[in-house]
């Protein structure tokens, strides 16, 4: 199963309407809910059904067009010669993630589980082959396997985010507060990220009080949000830039911020922040692979935990993402 086929399977399972378009914008394949039921044969150009969509799209994708207050159409580059565009229709307020299924699970979490099953042996056998456990390989074969294993890892990360979102939407995500020594936690997280930042040619600056408290928090959820912000800063800050981490403990909350000297987000695109599938339109953003789900997942997790997340543009360029979580000083 290819990565693109798996993406369509995910959209089908979520009952998310989609269509594949040729280079001229004609619809060639589509999910039944993308067009009216009466359409059977050639539906013609996308603009026949959605005249709000400018064609041809300008610049590097993905693109997004708000059709009306209840719908947004996303248009993605698609790696097939005959159908180089994928259109996805998002209906605001639709949420199959919370649909219950037998066994006490939600529809989305069941789907994630089923999709993970074939990925696990693919990744496992790929890694065995790379390690030479099943025979010698030439360099070209190794490179093909590395690409395969990396693609499976990307899909696993996407599935992890979808699983987390499903639990958030259904209210089934467990929150387990425990005493967290914030200073030690911060040192450990920065030690994890520092090698990748150094490899990217970035400087790391930490702004924090001399002493930090021990707070009652769910350390796994805290780490998930912090990791997403640091990875985002690393990906979109060019070599020679700086990433600044700020920690601000306050009464009944913990505030963290990650600022960078990267490309920043144009004013006209900021309204789409923290929405699913959003990625900036600039060429230097498009060069990095991604689904536009990392910040959205972090945002939804912070809100689920009773906190807030926001964005502030930096001067002369760059971004600052911040979040706070409710926290109380740990007893004992």
Give 10-residue mean pLDDT values along the chain (332 residues): 62 78 92 77 89 82 78 83 87 56 54 65 78 83 81 72 76 88 95 94 95 92 94 91 92 92 85 73 56 82 94 90 90 63
Give me the domain span that covers residue 311. Answer: 178-329
Asked which of 61, 94, 127 is the last residue of a domain, the reply is 94
Among candidate residues 323, 282, 297, 293, the one with its CA nearest the CA of residue 60: 282
pLDDT of residue 3: 54
Q: In the chain, how many domains are there?
A: 3
Asked which of 77, 94, 111 is the last residue of a domain, the reply is 94
Q: Say yes or no: 189 and 315 in one domain.
A: yes
pLDDT of residue 90: 79
Q: Say yes or no: 51 and 142 in one domain.
A: no
pLDDT of residue 20: 93
Phi and psi at residue 328, to the nearest 5°: -125, 155
Start-to-end CA distance of the chain, whole Å, equals 52
Q: What is the CA radius of gyration of the chain?
A: 22
If one counts every other C-beta atom within 10 angstroms of the C-beta of residue 249, the result is 17
Q: Say yes or no: 237 and 301 in one domain.
A: yes
Q: Say yes or no: 199 and 236 in one domain.
A: yes
- The Cα 199–Cα 249 span in angstroms is 30
pLDDT of residue 101: 47
Q: Say yes or no: 43 and 113 in one domain.
A: no
What does the chain come to in residues? 332
pLDDT of residue 332: 56
Q: Say yes or no: 184 and 162 in one domain.
A: no
Q: Say yes or no: 141 and 113 in one domain.
A: yes
- The Cα 99–Cα 119 span in angstroms is 24
Cβ pair 149, 127 in contact under 8 A? yes
Q: Say yes or no: 62 and 183 in one domain.
A: no
Cβ pair 290, 302 in contact under 8 A? no
- The Cα 36–Cα 241 span in angstroms is 50
pLDDT of residue 328: 84
Cβ pair 30, 19 in contact under 8 A? yes
The pair of three-digit structure tokens given for residue 160, joined into one six-digit string: 């992890």
Q: Say yes or no: 15 and 75 in one domain.
A: yes
């Amino acid at each position: 199963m290819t990565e693109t086929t798996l993406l369509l399977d995910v959209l089908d399972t979520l009952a998310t309407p989609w269509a594949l378009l040729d280079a001229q914008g004609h619809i060639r394949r589509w999910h039944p809910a993308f067009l009216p039921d009466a359409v059977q044969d050639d539906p013609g150009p996308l603009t026949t059904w959605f005249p709000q969509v400018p064609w041809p799209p300008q610049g590097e994708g993905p693109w997004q067009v708000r059709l009306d207050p209840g719908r947004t159409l996303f248009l993605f580059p698609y790696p097939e010669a005959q159908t180089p565009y994928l259109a996805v229709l998002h209906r605001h307020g639709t949420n199959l993630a919370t649909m219950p299924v037998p066994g006490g699970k939600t529809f989305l979490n069941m789907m994630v589980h089923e999709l993970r099953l074939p990925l696990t042996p693919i990744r496992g056998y790929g890694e065995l082959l790379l390690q030479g456990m099943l025979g010698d390989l030439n360099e070209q074969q190794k490179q093909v396997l590395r690409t395969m294993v990396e693609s499976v890892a990307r899909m696993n990360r996407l599935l992890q985010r979808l699983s987390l979102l499903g639990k958030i939407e259904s209210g089934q995500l467990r929150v387990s507060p425990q005493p967290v020594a914030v200073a030690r936690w911060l040192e450990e997280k920065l030690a994890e990220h520092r090698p990748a930042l150094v490899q990217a040619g970035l400087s790391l600056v930490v702004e924090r009080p001399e002493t930090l408290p021990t707070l009652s928090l769910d350390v796994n959820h805290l780490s998930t949000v912090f990791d997403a912000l640091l990875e985002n800063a690393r990906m979109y800050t060019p070599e020679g830039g700086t990433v600044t981490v700020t920690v601000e403990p306050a009464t009944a909350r913990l505030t963290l911020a990650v600022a960078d000297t990267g490309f920043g987000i144009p004013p006209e695109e900021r309204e789409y922040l923290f929405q699913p599938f959003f990625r900036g339109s600039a060429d230097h953003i498009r060069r990095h692979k991604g689904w536009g789900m990392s910040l959205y997942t972090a945002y939804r997790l912070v809100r689920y935990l009773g906190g807030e997340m926001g964005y502030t543009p930096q001067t002369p360029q760059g971004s600052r993402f911040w979040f706070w979580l409710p926290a109380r000083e740990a007893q004992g």
